[in-house]
Amino acid sequence: MTPERYAQVKELFQTALDLPAKERAIYLGKACGGDQALRAEVDALLEETERKTAAVLKAGVLRPGKTPVNTMGAMTRWVGRRTNKRWIGIAALLVLGLAGYFVYRLIQQTMVRQVENHLISSLDSSAVALDLQIAKWMAGAEYLAGGPRFIEDVSRLLEKAGKQIPPYDKRLDEWRRPILQRIEGVRRIEKFAFFILVDRFGHSIADEGSGLMGTKPSRFGYGLLGDVIGGSSRFIAASTRRLTADHPLEGELLNRHYVATPVKDREGYVIAALVLGYPAQESLAEIMRAGWAGTSGETYLINAEALILSGSRFPVEHEAMNEAARKTPKGMVLPKLWARDPGGDVMRGYKPKENPRTWTRTPTAANAITRRYTQHETLEGVVMEPYRDYRGVLSVGAWRWLPKHDIGMICEMDAGEAFAPLRIMQASAGGLLLLGALFAGAWIWSLIYLSKVQGRLEGIKTVGQYTLESQIASGGMGEVFLANHSLLKRPTAIKIVRQDLVTPQLTEKFVREVTLASQLRCPYTVQIYDFGVAQGRLPYCAMEFVPGLNLDEVVKSGGPLPAARVIHILRQVFESLAEAHGAKLIHRDIKPHNVMLAELGGRSDVVKVLDFGLAKAVESEYGADSAPSLVAGTPAYLAPERIHSGGLADPRSDLYACGMLGYFLLSGEEAFRAGPKLFNDILQKEPPVTEQLAAAPEDLRRLVLECLAKDLDARPASANGLVERCELLGREHPWPQSEARAWWAARR
């Protein structure tokens, strides 16, 4: 068989091995296609594996002895006492229920505050961007109005007008032309859409040919230009009101935002005002886009009439909204949106019937505009009680009135999206209450059941060829015992799976994966000597007993390790993983507790990687040395892709855990602390560079941080490559045996 053929058969065999019979047949039919020889080879391997598994299951026995050993751990021993613990359990449930309620309320308040902070932060960033944009427009207008030649041309036009000829008379076009040429020159740079030059009385004396020449300002127009004629520049937001008193077009302000600046002569006397207009929707829509978040969050501007000045994130609604807007008085400019409640969800097909100006303002718009007119000292706030926004969709929002520009800013998000985590938590709390009730009912039954199990297991002393001596560890998966082989008299660690976890499917998978793990021969991997099924039901495996310390104990007893020692340890871990990955095995639970350090074979600081294959056999194992998680593995050492994909692993996921291990050894602490934000930190934050990590050799620090890359493809490609890098680092930063022996001698 060629190497290529072997690799193909091996890949199909290992994939099919984990599939149920029906799915396995469908998979092989598709994968093998018409290659019957390939199918026959894979089927032969599957049949041989099933035959051996059945033989192992049939051969497992437990033989009674004289000395009782409790293999159900601390829980069973506690149950075996004669003291009645039922009322203690019920009281504990009540305490837990109350604690859970207060924790729920605390989390609820925290989530609401997070939404509030997010909305306010969006307003802050959008307000800064708006100030910068308006300042840019004003700078362009002031640059043009302050030009010596521009001032000279305007002064000449007004001087030629005199008392007999008004400055907007067509007979003065010869002196008006240089002014228009200078404005057009700047227009190509500043990209404004409209301009007009007015005298001190508000009459238009030069424009772009819009028909406004000579028109008088309305009272509203006088109010807007009053500050400018007084010598100050200002921003004028779009509005539905008239700018001029006698021009036939109403709402000419609606299409544009304006900046107006005074034109002063050499003595500083205001002789005219220059007004530049920018498209209302397009000019500020892009700035407000920075405040969008998620799928529904948006930030927009309003004026004192509740008119939305910066467009909408949801253009699909314009038709429905404009259908009502077309019923507005003649001459109004379309399209336009209002920060008013249309009365129903436009997104779901509701069509407003009334004039939009008759709709009730949304709470955020109403608060902002009311504070504007009352000149209240507080000009911002949040509305966390869901309300219908301008689309009629239930939302929450924050508002702020900007007196400097006389406009309001609103940031909103659909209530469903804003409170989605809270609703999940509410559903979870309801489920937990139900589970609590069921647990209370099952409490007495569990006591009786575990007592019976204890009675059945008392008197067990041997497992296969191994004599159990003492229990050395207990966890959620089962118990670990120190044992001796009856003939070889070799100290051995026996791990027996807990009886209440055992199912036929788990037993079969356990045997299959331990079979694969037993083929590993790396000196830095704990060797599996034997495995089987005790008493016809309890899976167990016999492993190499390592008399040493795990890395968590090493660091906690002496603090962060020297860089040279970390390199020495990581090289051995990478060598163990390199062999495993080559055999298509992924550890999935590399952590300090699963890496032992010992004195073996006359050498000190020998690494032994524990629990190959066992994490895959029982998906929810946890106990004294690990925390519960939704996927196999310890939460603080889970790679980002395993959180995203619900536990699916890649060999580079092990390398990420090794990066976390290296970080722990160098810093003396984990990169991300356990807590409700742990997964969020793993997915979004970079590991902080501690003082110890910063002091480590640059090449070592780079190796650790590369392993911790969020992107799977940004990590080192294989454990083999990391072994070579550690060997090079070890030559520059050696960890001599003399120092290792001295460390162990000090702890004897």
Dist CA 174 CA 570 (whole Å): 85
β-bridge mates for residue 473, sequence order = 480
Q: Cβ atoms within 10 A of the Cβ of 180, count? A: 18
Dist CA 596 CA 585 (whole Å): 20
Dist CA 555 CA 666 (whole Å): 9
Burial pattern 8-34, b for ≥16 Cβ within 10 A else e, equals bbeebbeebbeeeeeebeeebeebbee
Dist CA 32 CA 36 (whole Å): 7
State how beta strands 394-402 and 595-600 pair. Answer: unpaired
CA nearest to 395, candidates 405, 385, 404, 382? 385
Q: What DSSP designation does 244 have?
A: B
Kindly list the distances between the CA atom of residue 283 and the CA atoms of 133, 401, 728, in Å, as whole numbers in the listed order.
9, 20, 58
Q: What DSSP designation does 689 have?
A: -
The active-site residue, picked from 389, 589, 605, 611, is: 589
CA nearest to 616, candidates 691, 513, 685, 543? 513
Helices and strands: H and E segment counts in the chain: 24, 21
Which residues, 6+ apart, have CB-to-CB distance to 747 below 8 Å?
557
Angle between the N-to-C axes of helices 21-32 and 36-59, in degrees from 0 to 180, rounded to the nearest 10: 150
3-class SS of residue 732: helix
Q: 607 — phi, psi (to 5°)?
A: -90, 140
For residues 13 and 40, the answer to whether their CB atoms sit within 8 Å is no
CA nearest to 211, candidates 272, 252, 166? 252
What is the torsional sign of CA 313, 315, 319, 320? negative
Kindly list the distances between the CA atom of residue 637 and the CA atoms of 619, 643, 682, in Å, as whole numbers in the listed order.
16, 11, 9
For residues 668 and 555, the answer to whether their CB atoms sit within 8 Å is yes
Kindly list the distances between the CA atom of residue 518 and the CA atoms of 112, 130, 512, 735, in Å, as whole numbers in the listed order.
52, 66, 10, 31
Kindly list the distances between the CA atom of residue 85 and the CA atoms of 72, 81, 302, 430, 449, in Å, as whole numbers in the listed order.
18, 9, 66, 27, 15
Dist CA 585 CA 587 (whole Å): 6
Burial class (CB in 10 A: 0-12, 13-18, 19+), 118: middle
Q: 481 — phi, psi (to 5°)?
A: -120, 145
Q: What DSSP designation does 405 have?
A: T
Dist CA 596 CA 220 (whole Å): 81
Q: What DSSP designation does 509 have?
A: H
3-class SS of residue 635: helix
Burial class (CB in 10 A: 0-12, 13-18, 19+), 436: middle
Kindly list the distances between the CA atom of residue 642 and the CA atoms of 90, 587, 662, in Å, as whole numbers in the listed order.
37, 13, 19
Angle subtended at Cα 198 by Cα 192 and Cα 200, rounded to the nearest 5 degrees? 140
Q: What DSSP designation does 404 have?
A: T
Q: 200 — phi, psi (to 5°)?
A: -65, -20
Angle between the N-to-C axes of helices 86-145 and 280-289, in degrees from 0 to 180, rounded to the nearest 10: 140
Q: Catalytic: 654?
A: no
User: What's at 459, amino acid-wise?
Assistant: G
Cα-Cα end-to-end distance for the chain: 54
Q: What is the largest CA-CA distance in the chain?
A: 128
Active site residues: 589
